[in-house]
Amino acid sequence: MMSNGNFAYPTSFILADVARLMRVELDRCVTELGLNLSAGDIRALMNIVRFDGIRQCDIAKTMNVEPMTISAYLDRLEKNNLVRRQLDPTDRRARIVCVSDEARAVIDRILPLLDVVYERAMNGVDPQERESTESALETAWSNLSMRRVKEAPIFAS
């Protein structure tokens, strides 16, 4: 925790602030590269690449965003010819999302940017501390992801 003597700023807020600052830095790098994508668009695209052919509603669940939010991301991605939405053959009410060939080329341009942003954020952090931080974050991500899947009440142990 960071402290000014009387008040300790919670580590969870610091973590959220770092994530936000990394998104801002990524947006800046992507703009410099000339891509018309936001950090949210990129996060959506990365999830679609991971789960190519996923239902639109499942992308929203995976990203923990509202369906309207994912719809806006997909509108921009589709406009940039990075994804295609099509009817789900097993459920006419649902849409599945697939990546385009163009998306793979964009991902190849974005991955180095993600590394640059990460390196800027972790500049000055000892390699062992970095490894510990990465491991701890993966564990935290797993813990909270599993909790969401189980839909456990927030105050249950």
Please give the model's pTM, rounded to 2 decimal places.
0.77
What pLDDT score does 2 carry? 60
Whether residue 71 is predicted with pLDDT greater than 80 in this model: the reply is yes
Stretch 132-151: mean pLDDT? 81
Tokens 């909270």 belong to 144
What pLDDT score does 20 carry? 94
* Residue extents of the structural domains in the chain: 11-116
Average pLDDT of the chain to the nearest whole number: 88
Fold of 11-116: Arc Repressor Mutant, subunit A (1.10.10)
Question: What is the C-alpha radius of gyration for the chain, rounded to an integer number of angstroms?
Answer: 18
φ/ψ of 107, rounded to 5, equals -60, -40
What tokens does 19 get?
Answer: 């994530």
The pLDDT tens digits for 88-100 are 888 888 899 999 9
